[in-house]
Amino acid sequence: MSQFAINLIFVLGSFAIYIGIAIWARAGSTKEFYVAGGGVNPVMNGMATAADWMSAASFISMAGLIAAGGYANSTYLMGWTGGYVLLAMLLAPYLRKFGKFTVPDFIGDRFYSSGARLVAVACLIIASVTYVIGQMTGAGVAFSRFLEVDSNTGLMIAAVVVFAYAVLGGMKGITYTQVAQYIVLIIAYTIPAVFISLQLTGNFLPPLGLFGTHVESGVPLLQKLDEIVRELGFQDYTADVSNKLNMVLFTLSLMIGTAGLPHVIIRFFTVPKVADARWSAGWALVFIALLYLTAPAVASMARLNLLNTIYPAGPTADAIQYAERPDWIKNWEKTGLIKFEDKNNDGRIQHYNDAPAFAEKAAERGWAGNELTVNNDILVLANPEIANLPGWVLGLIAAGGLAAALSTAAGLLLAISSAVSHDLIKGSINPNISEKGELLAARISMAVAIVVATWLGMNPPGFAAQVVALAFGIAAASIFPALMMGIFSKRVNNSGAIAGMLAGLLSTVIYIFLYLGWFFIPGTATFANTPDNWLFGISPLSFGAVGAMINFAVAFAVSSVTAAPPQRVQDLVESVRYPRGAGKAVDH
């Protein structure tokens, strides 16, 4: 059987399961559409939350980023994990106690203002739309390789599948679909990792293999990797980070940004009791840990396998001939995600860091520039091919990558749909809309959101490479502080909340746009995306944390000079702040 046929069986088989679950779990009311009827078992909700949390960024991109940057890029792992812990400890049980459907619901009622609700809706939609672009793009990458179609066709297929189970089932269908998707993605991620860890270190547990001995050389795996990348002009894989402030701010920005992204927050509205929200958070952390503990090992082993493929006799010996390149390179070249340019016309693949600091050594070897461009996003998907694993493993990783992308895309699209139908239409435009009308509006909103997300995936904006940073920055600077102040401060009022959200949002967006070079700096002919131009050396990717601080400062300052919230709102905060364990959530 051909590899294409194997891939097709795994991918289409998983799609059939997802759509079948959606038909079985079709939502018949707004409560089922928004929060799955509020009766999801905590263990299943934990599994669904893990699938929602572990997007294409976790499954596909995170290990690729760590593989490319080594220890320096471990901030992604720390930030996303820390963000979930923040969400689970500081937000989930309290928001569940509040008993509403959405994040703007909480902000609108807590700050007794339709204006606060509308600002929250705008922030939620902007953050979710920018984030969902990455999920649809991740689905396109997986489709383009494993189903041998172009990325635009892959996006269209992904959109149809998401439409089938998300629009039909709403949160109810998405919840049970995400349980299935978690099972698919965690098996797909861990089985290849176990095979590759056994190959390279003899240890079947990848996290232990990462710190084990490289079988072929007899030295520690990370030491072997450091030796190879150093010989090719790259920074040591285990090298420390020079700018500690930036690393701390970036990690913090990822933490509070992910804790503020609404597609995971709404998952905690689906369980019957506050205690179940806490148990859901605990179970989700267990399920997330299975992948996140494996990712650093997958990253380092993928980088080592890639370099050993190109330099089979070591980095100081000749690279392989391009004409004799392995099949996996040929396969990925068709997608455009691997590109080769023979700059010195020797027919060999020179892959190294062609930075000025390495130019002299490269010239001594007769190299005229790096000739192989490898998209970081392919490393997890290509790693089983590089390691010559069986065809069924490749089919499994194809289904897993698509499950990761589609599970999070569905959660984000539901958050967008809920914001439009429940918070915008019912909350502001037409409060008297019937339940049937609201359910129809929710489905139409989701369909439109899918179309927009697909179009943006096919025609990404000029800043697509940094679009996820914008999503995290917006959520960190606007939504997370509003939630924290809404739960833990009785003094912050509607004026303070609105001013804080707008200040955090605008400062973050302006900084990101200016210093990522999306606009020219007046009076100059160069882009601003260099550390020398950054304000106090703060990277645009790290500014969400600063935006959050601005939000907090402005909100407290404005609240201190304006009237205190009404007593009923202060009583509401008091009741939300003390969930009292297993009590049922109370609608306010």
Query: Rounded to an integer, what distance in angstroms lies between the CA atom of residue 6 and that of residue 10?
Result: 6
For position 520, what pLDDT does the model report?
41
Q: Are residues 311 and 251 in the same domain?
A: no
Phi, psi (deg, nearest 5) at residue 557: -65, -45
Same domain, 281 and 317: no
Same structural domain, 452 and 341: no
Q: Which of 375, 403, 430 is the last residue of a domain?
A: 375
Q: What is the CATH number of the domain that holds 214?
A: 1.20.1730.10
pLDDT at site 529: 56
240/235 Cα distance (integer angstroms): 10
Query: Residue 292: inside a domain, yes or no?
Result: yes
CA angle 53, 258, 459 (to 5 degrees): 80
**Tally of structural domains, the chain:** 2
Whether residue 443 sits in one domain with residue 347: no
Quick one: pLDDT at residue 60? Answer: 76
Q: 28 and 92, same structural domain?
A: yes
Residue 89 and residue 54 share a domain: yes
pLDDT of residue 15: 80
8 A C-beta contact, residue 472 and residue 509 = no
> What is the identity of the amino acid at 204?
F
Taking the CA of residue 96 as centre, how many other CA atoms within 13 Å lie in the half-sphere pointing to its CB?
34
Which residues of the chain carry a pLDDT beneath 70?
Answer: 27-28, 35-37, 100-101, 165, 168-169, 460-470, 516-530, 532, 578-588
pLDDT value, residue 169: 66
Residue 357 shares a structural domain with residue 261? no
Q: Per the domain annotation, does 577 fall within a domain? A: no
227-273: per-residue pLDDT in tens?
A: 999 999 999 999 988 788 888 998 999 899 888 877 777 787 788 88
Q: Looking at residue 101, what is its pLDDT?
A: 65
Residues 285, 321: one domain?
A: no
* 3-class DSSP string for 199-249: HHHCCCCHHHHHCCECCCCCCEHHHHHHHHHHHCCCCCCCCCCCCHHHHHH
Q: Which residues of 94-124 are buried (b: 16+ CB within 10 A; e: fewer)?
A: bbbbbbbbbbbbbbbbbbbbeebbbbbbbbb
The token pair at 336 is 């455009």
138 with 237, same domain: the answer is: yes
The one-letter code for the residue type at 232 is: L
Residues 70 and 210 in one domain: yes
pLDDT tens digits, residue range 174-229? 788 888 889 988 998 999 999 999 999 999 999 999 999 999 999 999 999 999 99
Cβ atoms within 10 Å of 295's Cβ, excluding its own: 27
Q: Which residue segment(s) compose the domain that 350 sits in?
A: 307-375
565, part of any domain: no
Which of 460, 494, 511 terminates a domain? The answer is: 460
Same domain, 205 and 342: no
Same domain, 283 and 349: no
Amino acid at 66: I
Of 430, 460, 490, which residue constitutes the final position of a domain? 460
121 Cβ partners below 8 Å, 6+ apart?
104, 419, 420, 423, 424
pLDDT at 246: 86
